Structure formats: C-alpha cells, structure tokens
Amino acid sequence: VQLVQSGAEIKKPGESLTISCVGSGYNFMKYWISWVRQMPGKGLEWMGRIDPSDSYINYSPSFQGHVTISADKSIGTAYLQWTTLKASDTAMYFCARHSNYPPDYWGQGTLVTVSS
Amino acid sequence: QSILTQPPSASGTPGQTVTISCSGSSSNVGRNAVNWYRQLPGTAPKLLIYSHIQRPSGVPDRFSASKSGTSASLAISGLQSEDEAGYFCAAWDDSLNGWMFGGGTILTVL
C-alpha cells in the first residue's frame, strides 16, 4: 500500500493550487481519503474526506469554502485544491486512507509555502 | 478547530515509563475509540495504537494505551532514546463527522 503525494509548492498569495495523492497497492474505491493539515510546529488538523467510489465529501467547518476535495477513481488519485491561496495556508498537507478504522497509511506530505 | 488536549511536552530517562494524556469530550473520546500516532520531524504520522489498545504489526508491546470517560493515555515503558518523537492522539468526532486530533506531545528522552 502506498499513497504518493505531489511535490513541494511555492506560491504567491492569491494564486491557485492543486496537489495530488496517488493510491496504489489496494482497492482505491474501498477506503476514504482524508486530507490533514499541519502548520509549522503545530498539531494535525482534519480538513475533510472523500469516498472515491461515489465522490461523497464532507468538510471540516474550519476548511469548508476555502478548499475543494475531489478524486478521480479511474486513476486512483485524490486532490486538494485552493482557488485563492493565503499566507496562512503555508503548511504541510497529508493525505491518508481510512475505513471504519483510523487512518493507517499516509502520504509523505506536500509542503505548501505561500509568500509574496 | 477544536482539538483534543495533550500536554505539549513530556520527558523521561532511559528505562523509565512515561505517560501521555489526551482529553476530549463526549462526542469524540467519550464515545469512540482512541488512536495514537507517532511522528518524526518532517515525516508522516505512523499509527501506533488503534481501537484503544490494538497495536499494528511491528509496534512493540512497550507501547500501551487506556481510556476512561473522556480521557485517554498512552504509556511507553522501558523508554529508549529512539522513542524521541511527537505523539498525537486521534478519535472520530460524531459532531464534526470527521477525525479530531490532539495538539501533540513532544517526548524527550533525557
């Protein structure tokens, strides 16, 4: 089982960004994918999750409206998208798979830096 | 976003037993299984304990966990220098309909 995330990004405030998470070694449609934020030196924050089998999504209220989660089950890939980045979006972002149990396999993380 | 409450730091000497606490509410820790992760700097969290007390393959039995009401704890016995890491608790939150994580505890082995 592997979740492989796209590489680090450096963006300016106001720009858009999509990062990806490719799952392999398991049935991608049988597990939820959650996205988790970790700001520098801080704890983990759950952002939202998607069921790749039907693209059902639910967001944390803290992130609703600021990010978009999606997935393409045909290529086993989940996405996290911003249309308007802010400096406060600077963080490490992880994807992780889970079912009725907690997230067991995690991506390696994508570092997003937003700076003018 | 509300988080589960953990002490920011903990420490111990080699061979000692260290306990890390995690406090939540009736919608998360009080109602659902508590899980624990270990994280080394710059890497992804690794599942250490799930469903209160289960250890994934490869996790030594020096790591144990317990829960009472809306509080949980992780115990590390026979402390080793390699145990230095960040430790996070996590539980499903029924109000959030998502995962609630603790703020994390940095463990130092003196």
pLDDT at residue B1 greater than cutoff 80: no
Torsion angles phi and psi, residue B55, rounded to 5: -110, 130
- Chain A neighbors of B50, CB-CB under 8 A: 101-102, 104
Minimal-distance CA residue of chain A relative to B87:
A43
Please name the member of B43, B100, B104 whose beta carbon is closest to the beta carbon of A46: B100
Cβ contact, residue pair B56, A104, below 8 Å: yes
Work out the burial of residue A86: count CB atoms within 10 Å of its CB; fewer than 13 is exposed, 13-18 middle, 19 or more buried: exposed
- Tell me the average pLDDT across A22-41: 96
- Chain A neighbors of B46, CB-CB under 8 A: 106
User: How do residues B60-76 score in pLDDT, each as one tens digit?
Assistant: 999 999 999 999 999 99
Q: What is the pLDDT of residue A98?
A: 95
Amino acid at B46: K
The residue among A3, A37, A44 with the most chain B CBs within 10 A of its CB, best to mutate, is A44
Greatest pairwise CA separation for chain B in angstroms: 40
Residue for token digits 């520098």? A40
Instruction: Identify whether the C-beta of residue B15 lies closer than 8 Å to the C-beta of residue B79.
Output: yes
More confident residue, B3 or B48: B48
pLDDT at residue A100 greater than cutoff 80: yes
pLDDT band of B3, cuts 50, 70, 90? confident
Distance between first and last Cα of chain B? 33
User: How do residues B75-108 score in pLDDT, each as one tens digit?
Assistant: 999 999 999 999 999 999 999 999 999 999 999 9
Q: What is the pLDDT of residue B105?
A: 97
pLDDT at residue B2 greater than cutoff 80: no
Residues with Cβ within 8 Å of B79's Cβ and at least 6 positions away in sequence, in order, are B12, B13, B14, B15, B16, B17, B18, B109
Query: A with B: how many residue pairs have Cβ under 8 Å apart?
Result: 67
Q: What is the pLDDT of residue B21?
A: 97
Residue for token digits 């089982």? A1
